[in-house]
Structure 1
Amino acid sequence: MKILVFGKTGQVATELQRLADVHALGRQDADLANPDACAAIIRDADADVVINAAAYTAVDKAEQEEDLATLVNGHAPGAMARAASAKGIPFLHISTDYVFSGQGDTAWATDDPVAPPNAYGRSKLVGEQAVQAAGGAFAILRTSWVFSSHGANFVKTMLRLSESRDELNIVDDQIGGPTAAKDIAQALLTMAHALVEGSPGGVFHFAGAPAVSWKDFAVEIFRQAGRSVAVTGIPTSDFPTPAVRPLNSRMDCSALTEAFGIRQPDWTESLAIVLEELKNAD
């Protein structure tokens, strides 16, 4: 199966390249700020399936650059999905729990009402709607709290801070499922094979279990890494950011299990693998 991947250096795109023989396109090859050019790449490509693992991910900066975020996260995936549809090949797209309001304490189901609380979430919702409207075979995978041994992420930030600090204040009223990029990549590959073989697509959720706060995530990172850091929980109101962050990022992943047999990974096990990779890279 020939897989075309938009994205090359991001966390999920990197893991896709580690796990499978894919044709990955970096920013120099495919600029998502030019949706027509991205669509043309698909039209000219010899591919059986397309995975979009590229995105505008600067959540706070998107508050000032919503037009650019919407171009990259919204209009480009739409153009790509229409091109894939015209060729009769499936299109897989990564989205986010940020399309929901972030309120309440119940895990978000795939058909729950959407109400993005910030510009980034709105831009991703535009992309979801455009992909669904393209008319072809598609799968949208909403995920959350991505981490890996490469790129910028919470795990690496915590380890870096622990080098110089023995006490940290971490938000403890935002709850979600940390998700390893490798687990996301494996899920996408499983889905891609199934869609190529004719399985129905749709919108799905994928996140690590169990759900925890950022504070408890940090505590487990330090425990597994053998770092002596005292972690104090603080409310989101004590850590203001330009973009509103969801308090509830819990995700109901049952639809993905039912459709593809993909179960929620235990993020503590995936964390151990990432920490070992980072240790070996030192």
Structure 2
Amino acid sequence: MTDRISAGTSLSTQDIADLIDHALLKPELTPQDVRASVVDLAGQRIWSVCVRPADVPLAVEAAAGVEGSPTRVCTVIGFPHGTTSTAAKVAEARQALADGATELDMVLHIGALIGGLHEQVQDDIAAVVEVGHEAGVLVKVIFETVLLEEEQKKQACRLSEAAGADFVKTSTGFAGGGATLSDVRLMREQCSPGVQVKASGGVRDIDTALAMVAEGVTRLGTSSTEALLHEARVREAGGTLVVPSPEADLDLPSGARPPVSDTY
């Protein structure tokens, strides 16, 4: 989905699946773990699996082996701290695309943003965006909102949009914080409609997912796909898989800040 979904809209379980970028980013995952997970997730027809850069060829092969699945392969660039050089990010992006990735989630240079080096941050994003757009793929920019003040989040939105990013994204899931309603609301307000918002970190239940959608989120980064889709099926069967009003349920059951050890 690319357009904001209005409050009161009834969704299907496949609509929820179409929002999900499932994260397979933990360092201890084996190739066998990745392959088995990709096959399972592709069978559930989610939007994409987001894998570590070295796992892209394996994930592409595994997803392609699930007949009829639309599931794509996404990867991360400059992950998780954003402090690799621009040249390294560009090289990483080119390799990922050569290996078959169809979306790139890059981490902006967090320290440079906080330090006020805005031109450097924008140029860094723009270099990866150029590589991605040359190949016709989407580029998302990860802010790590838990580390930023409100004005820095606004600045990150402005810089990302000026650099041509397709999405702004809350978190890596590796910094002790995740998506909050206030952050995604700010990001949606600060960016034009042409820039989408991805909420990642802490989206573990259907109520949280729906509340994020109500705020204008069009992609969910999570490792709780099985739980989300199970809850979605139950709610769909009961006719209650409905987008709430943006003001509803601000105290979410999953909590505003997930523990450091609980990524995505």
User: What TM-score comes out, normalization by structure 1 length?
Assistant: 0.36
Q: Give the structure with higher Rg (CA).
A: 1
User: What TM-score comes out, normalization by structure 2 length?
Assistant: 0.38
